A and B are shown apart, each in its own frame.
Chain A
Amino acid sequence: MNEYTLPIIFGVTVGTIARAIMLRTDYRQYPTYLHGKVIHLALGFIAAALGSVAIPAIMEKEFTAVTFLTIAASQFREVRNMERNTLTELDGYELVPRGNTYIEGIAVAFESRNYLVIFTAFLTTLAYLVFNWIAALAVTIVIFIINRKLMSGSTLKEIVDISHSDIHFEGAGLYVDNIYIMNIGLPERQEEIRKYGMGFILTPKNFDVRSTIANLGQRQAILHDISVSLGVFRDSGTPALVPLIKRELDDGRIGVFILPQDHNPKKAAEIIGAVPVLENAIRMPSESKVNQKN
């Protein structure tokens, strides 16, 4: 035991707890129970250890020791690669795939959460060493609150108005409201779609949102999340039964056509509202210099 032992233990513990809190398994069921979680808890522990030994290293004037944080960075980039590869591999076997944009978003979240753990451990150890354990505890609470904020992005209901809309056929063309979805030739397929299909119209609340919901990855994420939560009337070998989203070019609305097994429009609208806005789909035309000038 020396003067650094307790602060380091404190930092490592807090960091690992932070990772555990940020590791939630919700409807996405990813990471899956136990094995997937163990991997991320172990990495979280390593991240916490790296973060908390940095301060004692500096205090002992071992400045070169800080370079191992760069090793940590490359290590966690590897985490992102691992997640991306796994999810991309699995995506081929989903009835309604996540899509690459969604996968990239998940992978980035895994990487960034490890950095949050490093910062958490770093700052709590610093507070412990400079002040005392009470200050460290206070810092812990503040950081946990900040982590919670950083963890949750915005959801679709903040950027679009969601309305339930009937689906209908004009000849072989399937429409949601006035948005053309696809051509369904067989009368029996049309019958199935009339029976199980459901339509929603998402109206963008402002101009920026238009490009965000037009993003194909964002659209696929919507379809995937609905299919996960409400089931999907689809199987391999029935390519005609496919949930789709098409765009109205005039005003940027999108028409969502889904085939849920749980036929509940209210629930479906809520689920669409809760779909995360993917970081990689966000566009801000209003921030461009030309738009700001005029």
Chain B
Amino acid sequence: MNIEKAILAVITTNSQKVDGGAPIFYCESKEEMTKVAANLEAIIDGISHALSDELYIIVKH
């Protein structure tokens, strides 16, 4: 399967900020968030982008 330019996952520490289609990973702390983002980046072959301190997205380019 080939996906281009899509948000594959959303990782956040603030559940108020997110909603919608992509899988959402809710984390307790910033450390946990970066760890989850790093793992997801490797697993789904996308790039972690930081939108703010409490919100990361994984995008397939």
What residues of chain A have their CB less than 8 Å away from a CB belonging to chain B? Answer: 171-172, 182-189, 236-240
Question: What is the CA–CA distance of A289 and B60 in the complex, to the nearest angstrom?
Answer: 44
Which 5 A-B residue pairings sit nearest by Cβ, starting from the closest? A185-B50, A172-B50, A185-B48, A183-B49, A240-B47
Question: Which residues of B are interface residues toward A (Cβ below 8 A)?
Answer: 34, 37-38, 41-42, 45-50, 56-57, 60-61
Cβ contact within 8 Å between B46 and A239? yes
- Could you tell me if A188 and B38 are in contact, using CB atoms closer than 8 angstroms? yes
9 contacts between A and B (CB under 8 A): A184-B48, A185-B47, A185-B48, A186-B37, A186-B38, A187-B34, A237-B45, A239-B47, A240-B48
CB <8 Å contact, B50 and A183? yes
Judged by DSSP, the binding face of A is loop
List 18 other contacts, CB 8 Å, given A171-B50, A185-B47, A185-B57.
Answer: A172-B49, A182-B47, A183-B50, A184-B50, A186-B37, A186-B48, A186-B50, A187-B34, A188-B38, A189-B38, A237-B42, A237-B45, A239-B45, A239-B46, A239-B47, A239-B60, A239-B61, A240-B47
Query: What chain A residues lie within 8 Å of B48 (beta carbons)?
Result: 184-186, 189, 240
Chain A residues with CB under 8 A of B61: 239
* Closest CB in chain B relative to A149 CB, distance in Å: 42
